Amino acid sequence: MTRLSVNINKIATIRNARGGNIPDVRLAAINCQRYGAEGITVHPRPDERHIRYQDVRDIKPEIVTEFNIEGYPSEEFFKLVNEVKPNQVTLVPDPPDALTSNAGWDTVKHKEFLKDVIAKFQAAGIRTSIFVETDLELIRHAKETGTNRVELYTEPYASEFVNDPLRAVEPFAKAAELAGQIGLEVNAGHDLNLDNLEYFVKHVKPLHEVSIGHALISDALYFGLENVIQMYLRKIHDAR
């Protein structure tokens, strides 16, 4: 069964644009869970332009589903994750000035680095996932890092979906199939939305979790947060 984790970064972006505490990120996390979200995702960056490190600390006691923290494994990030101890940490290769995550790890070039970081997180009892693209060789090498999961970077799928859904999803279906065969669990995220989500979930197996933020929070401006979370859950359920 594919689970829906809601990324609440965009709520923090709106708050930070004005200062103060409106909208309340902590309350948003609570409400997302009340409305059916099966996980909460945050991605704190070094400049804290959306989710702040203190937000992560404040949100953790409210999580009753699953807490996923994404980020580049800098020393500061490593300390935060070990302090908060989420259910899952997702490692992304973002440089500090990245607008959004836009590439997966080179699991050959960075294998030893990832092995060391992953081992430390797992020793603290935290499940690990690493952000990857659909290159099958890099997925094979991801297994050698010791990670529990890979998260497929789905922006290429979202871009191509409007032109040719089958061609768009094929590399992801093959990548997930291989990952499952070699003992990796599979997550996915980036630019998934109400138009392309059901097709993706239907064709990509195994798929344990999708992390969705920008589109979901944007849809909530039109339809309301509770309604939108249920809309996304229905897309996932209808794909079974």
Q: Is 136 helix (H, G, I), strand (E, B) or coil?
A: helix
* pLDDT given at position 46: 87
Q: Which residues of the chain have pLDDT under 50?
A: 99
Asked about 110 being catalytic, the answer comes back as no
Q: Return the number of other C-beta atoms located less than 10 Å from residue 105's C-beta.
A: 24
Q: Return the number of other C-beta atoms located less than 10 Å from residue 125's C-beta.
A: 8
Asked about 43 being catalytic, the answer comes back as yes
| Marked catalytic residue, from 190, 203, 208, 209 | 190
How many angstroms separate the CA atoms of 165 and 200, rounded?
A: 9
* pLDDT given at position 95: 62
What six digits make up the tokens of 127? 């499940």
| Marked catalytic residue, from 38, 66, 70, 133 | 70
How many angstroms separate the CA atoms of 101 and 114, rounded?
A: 17
* pLDDT given at position 101: 53
* pLDDT given at position 94: 75
| Marked catalytic residue, from 38, 43, 151, 185 | 43
Closest CA to 225 of 33, 37, 32, 65: 32
- The sign of the dihedral angle between the CA atoms of 150, 151, 155, 161 is positive
Asked about 70 being catalytic, the answer comes back as yes
Query: Which pTM was predicted?
Result: 0.94
* pLDDT given at position 103: 77
* pLDDT given at position 102: 61
